[in-house]
Amino acid sequence: MDRFEPNLRIPGPTGLPPSVREAGARQMINHRGPEFAAMLGRVLAGMQPFFGTTGDIAIVTTAGTGGLEAAVVNTLSPRDRVLGVSIGAFGDRFAKIARAYGADVTKLDVEWGQAADPAVLRAELERDNGYRAVLLTHNETSTGVMNPIPELAAVIREVAPDALILVDSVSGLGAVPFEMDAWGVDVVVTGSQKAWMSAPGLAMIAASPRAWTAMETATMPRVYLDLRAHRESHAAGQTPWTPALAVLYQVDEGIRLMQADGAAAVFARHAACAAAARAGLTALDFRLFADQRFASKTVTAAYVPDDLDWKAFNGEVKRRGLVLAGGQGKLTGKIFRLGHLGSVTVEEILGAMSVLEFVSIEAGRPVTPGAAVAAAQVAALESFGVVTPATAGAGAS
């Protein structure tokens, strides 16, 4: 294992491109000086298109969870009524944060593996129109499901126009299109260790004009996470507290790489890797966990087969250099997850499939050598719009 780098296929932190790693090793600079101001400005401007906003973004030195906490404490007051739409472990966490700060949280729990249904959300908002905010998870990393945020946000805007829409897109933003302004979303949170190809340590939080206004009257306690302090400081080219400078160097470089590829190419690469992962795992006779209509573009979850000794299997997979993630919460031991976000390439997914094939065949599972790699390759090609012999054949018949 120490002769080569593992294929780190967990849904964040992700492997880092060489230039991002080098950026993180750079010498410190004065975080109250002009060089820092220029970098911060670049990062903020570079992020805006990925959020789909022309509004202000705050960069906070914290894990993604701190970003979710910031979304809550800046916009809400104790006893505010909040609807926590949860499709998995991270939806539960978002609701738990709001509850911990005294919000009156109603949960709308969706079966894990499913996406939230706009019709069900509509019915709930029609039944009870008194919510101050609705919490949504864009990409539920624990289940590999991506919620239809535009449709869900449209329902909220129509039925409960005054409700704030707070979105956890920690593991989605930057990997798939997001149009915060156009969709009427109020707060969006993402994290440096996901699509941004950087180490953990920074949360990026965008807020709508309505959310910035809400911050003036919201009374949940906040000091370190006060987004107004961040906005004010960012306007002066600084952060209110000492930032995770090395991570910011990395995010600056990560965005530069994303811009060099172009957002459309970044999104297409994520879609192709996701398609390859789904096809490959299916060919390996693993049953996918998520409702495939809402399959995540950044993480794929599959059931651990009942007759598979997962510990032994995964140990061998790890020995061969492939690192997968297990299940979380009530899915611990029931599913495994394969991450495909950030600097991921189709080749890395094909490599993962070849390891899984090898170990599957060794373990006596009914897998044909090459079948999973081939299925993944075809799916990736098709996702990129390349005609394969399979699609050409399908057209001719």
Ligand X SMILES: Cc1ncc(COP(=O)(O)O)c(C=O)c1O
Q: Within 105-188, where are the H helices?
A: 118-127, 149-159, 180-183
Cα–Cα distances in angstroms (integers) from residue 10 to residues 37, 125, 146, 170, in the given order: 33, 36, 17, 14
> Nearest distance from residue 196's CB to ligand X, in Å?
12
Q: Which is nearer to ligand X, 139 or 354 (CB)?
A: 139
Q: Which is nearer to ligand X, 139 or 300 (CB)?
A: 139
Q: Which is nearer to ligand X, 139 or 377 (CB)?
A: 139
Distance of CA 294 to the CA centre of its chain: 14
Q: Which is nearer to ligand X, 139 or 239 (CB)?
A: 139
> Across the strands, what pairs with 176?
173
Which tokens sit at 239? 């952060």
> Nearest distance from residue 336's CB to ligand X, in Å?
15
Cα–Cα distances in angstroms (integers) from residue 278 to residues 300, 341, 371, 380, in the given order: 7, 14, 13, 10
> Nearest distance from residue 366's CB to ligand X, in Å?
33
Closest residue by beta carbon to ligand X: 64
Q: Virtual CA dihedral for 340, 261, 170, 60, nearest 10 degrees?
A: 140
> Nearest distance from residue 384's CB to ligand X, in Å?
26
Q: Which is nearer to ligand X, 58 or 359 (CB)?
A: 58
Residue 137 zone, left/alpha/beta (φ > 0; ψ -120 to 50; rest): beta
Q: Which is nearer to ligand X, 68 or 379 (CB)?
A: 68
- Give the integer Cα–Cα distance in Å for 309 and 60: 42
> Nearest distance from residue 139's CB to ligand X, in Å?
6
Which tokens sit at 79? 């006893």
Residue with tokens 């920074």: 202
Q: Is 394 exposed, middle or buried (0-12, 13-18, 19+ CB in 10 A)?
A: exposed
Q: Which is nearer to ligand X, 199 or 317 (CB)?
A: 199
Q: Which is nearer to ligand X, 91 or 351 (CB)?
A: 91
Cα–Cα distances in angstroms (integers) from residue 356 to residues 4, 105, 143, 332, 369, in the given order: 18, 42, 20, 20, 10
> Nearest distance from residue 6's CB to ligand X, in Å?
19
Which residues form the interface with ligand X (CB under 6 A)? 12, 63-65, 90, 137, 139, 141, 168, 170-171, 191, 200
Q: Is the dihedral of CA 2, 347, 201, 89 positive or negative?
A: negative
> Nearest distance from residue 159's CB to ligand X, in Å?
25
Residue with tokens 């624990």: 142
> Nearest distance from residue 12's CB to ligand X, in Å?
5
> Nearest distance from residue 64's CB to ligand X, in Å?
3
Q: Which is nearer to ligand X, 137 or 354 (CB)?
A: 137
- Give the integer Cα–Cα distance in Å for 305 and 52: 40
